[in-house]
Structure 1
Amino acid sequence: MHEHLDALEKRMQQLQHAMRQALAHHDNDQVNALRQELRRTQNAWDALFSPAEEPPPAHRAPEAPAAAGNVERQLGVPTAREQVRQALTLLTVPAAPKLLSQVHQAFFFHPLNTARLATLRRDEERSFRATPDRRSFYICPALACDRLSPVRALLALSTWPLEQRLVGPLTARVNFLTSALRLADAAEQLPGGTWPLPVQQLLLYYNRNIPGCPDTRGQVDLDALREAAAAELAIHADDDADTRAEASRRALTTLDATDQIFGAPLHDAKRQRRIS
């Protein structure tokens, strides 16, 4: 009970902050949408905070104990699976749960519970193995170029080309720089001249970790960030692409359709390393 109340109270604070931002940008449509969600969240909080109105436990309907667990569904909040898809689609590169959560909070206004993601990935693989291609997309792991095995805590989309899901020695840096470019473009498309705090924090993190970005004392120059990221990306991109292209060719000839998405089993991964 308390964890659901905490989550709802935190969400109400986020919505109030977002409403202030939208109002400052004169975005009336966004204000109205956020106001409606705030009302739904307040109603859900009231329902959880009114135990005196509930029937006694002996007469409670069977569905009542599960009501708190369905709060997100009642509010129309995207599932964790959909939240991961949204964040990955924005980034276009495999990403760790922490980054996915930060991106979704910043650009989609909903917190992503990263504790669910390990279970989510296992459920996705079980679903695919039981009925392949039943879903339009699957959350899957990135694959290591050397062993073609799953990379721990890096998630991707099954709809991406295989090369896009592979990770070599330079890929982490290439993906970091690619993410910087994508987030800079996304921030530029936000209404108004200021960004919500989560967006500012993300951009500052990238600004601090890319050589050539100016120290702007808490503000990010998007053009300078893009220029610095593109300059370093040009140094690594070709070598990284060659490594992933070679690994992709090897995967397509040695792995079945399922393992091309979810990775080679451990014993096959060791064999792949010997062959390569």
Structure 2
Amino acid sequence: MSDRLDELERRIDELRAGVRRAMRARDGAAARVLRAELRTAEKAWDALVSGEQPAEKARGPRLVTVREQVHQALALLGVPAQARLVVAVSGAFLAGTIRSSQLTSLRRDEERSFRSSPYGRPYYLCAALTDRLSPARGYLTVSTWPVERRMVGPLSPRVDFLTCAVRIAEQPARTPEGDRLLARMARNIPGAGDEVPPDPGRVAEAARRELAVHAERDAADRAELARRAVTQLDDAARLFGAATLTTVPRSLMAMGDAR
């Protein structure tokens, strides 16, 4: 139970900070979404502390959807992640059962849901955005994260990889699957060692050393991209990316060629 309490408390702290940022930015829509998710997390914390059993548990275990499993994995990592890493983390630490093939259409489904009923859900699984403000191929994020965290600058893939390594190394519950995942990641981090199973403390320390080199520049790049996204994109494009030439209807491209 203590591991679940720790996870909920970290999530509550993140959501409270997110609400404050949204209020400072006068982003009322984001604040409403974050507050709804905060209330859900606080209720889960209260139920766990008091020992109450949720109603659905009395009827039997609730089926956790693919969408919820992806959200849990991204919450653990805290940064944009590729689908294969989301699947690996879900299986290693969260008893997940998702497969990469199930994520192929997930982001499109989320975008359709948002466009049909904006902010109708507490969160959406959305795209990371490139320097062109288009969706980064294969990367998933969460709509309630700050805009700058959902950007991908030149150094962001490396920074996010190192951040994920730290988060995985710091997981209190060690599993064989988690150790194998961390060992694979450690091979790409100088000084992380090649022990099997890996030394989580050594991996985290090595990742933090390299993060210290890149983090400031990456944060500046992401902040600049976030400013562009906020000023140039509408709500839907801010979550799912702006259209690129490859997504322009062929009829319109033909009209341009005719000119």
TM-score normalized with structure 2 length? 0.70
Corresponding pairs, count: 189
Aligned with residue 115 of structure 1, among 80, 91, 101: 101
| Pairing 1:85–2:71 present | yes
Alpha-carbon distance in structure 2 between the residues aligned to 1:92 and 1:76: 25
Post-superposition Cα deviations, 1:80-122, rounded to whole Å, max 9, x if no partner, equal 1001000000000111111111000000112212212121111
Which stretches in structure 1 are left out of the alignment for 5+ residues?
Answer: 1-73, 271-276
CA positional deviation for 1:220: 1.4
Which residue of 2 is the match for residue 200 of structure 1?
Answer: 179
Corresponding position: 1:131 with 2:117:
yes
Aligned to 1:175: 160
Structure 2 residue aligned with 1:142 = 128
Secondary structure at the residue paired with 1:122? helix
Q: CA deviation at 1:219?
A: 2.1
Q: 2:145 aligns with which of 147, 152, 160?
A: 160
CA contact (8 A) 1:77 1:110 kept: no
Counterpart for residue 106 of structure 1: 92
1:154-188 residue CA offsets vs partner (Å, 9 max, x unmatched) = 000001011000001110000000001111111xx
Instruction: Give the drift of 1:78.
Output: 1.3
Deviation at 1:265, TM superposition (A): 1.1
- The 5 A counterparts of 1:228-239 are 228-239=206-217
Conserved? CA contact 1:147–1:269, under 8 Å = no
* Cα distance in 2, alignment partners of residues 77 and 103 from structure 1: 19
1:111-149 deviations in Å (ceiling 9; x for gaps): 2122121211111100100110000000101100x2100
Structure 2 Cα separation of the partners of residues 201 and 207 of structure 1: 10
Residue pair 1:121, 1:139 contacting (<8 A) in 2 also: yes
Deviation of 1:75 (Å): 6.5
How many angstroms apart in 2 are the aligned matches of 1:253 and 1:267? 21
Deviation at 1:228, TM superposition (A): 0.5
Contact 1:88 1:157 in 2 (8 A): yes
Q: Distance in 2 between matches of 1:152 and 1:212?
A: 30
Describe the SS at the equivalent of 1:103.
helix
Deviations 1:190-219 (CA, angstroms, capped at 9, x unpaired): 1xxxx3221111110122110011232x12
Corresponding position of 1:240: 218
Equivalent AA in structure 2 for residue 236 of structure 1? H
User: Is 1:211 the counterpart of 2:197 in the alignment?
Assistant: no
Contact 1:94 1:175 in 2 (8 A): yes
Runs of 4+ in 1 over 4 A off after TM superposition: 267-270
Q: TM-score, normalised by structure 1?
A: 0.65
> Could you say what the CA RMSD is over the residues aligned between the two structures, in angstroms?
1.8
**Secondary structure of the corresponding residue to residue 104 of structure 2:** helix
Counterpart Cα distance in 1 of 2:238 and 2:246: 12
Q: Is the 8 A contact 2:183 2:194 kept in 1?
A: no
The secondary structure found in structure 2 opposite 1:214 is coil
Distance 1:240 1:258 in 2: 25
* Structure with bigger gyration radius: 1
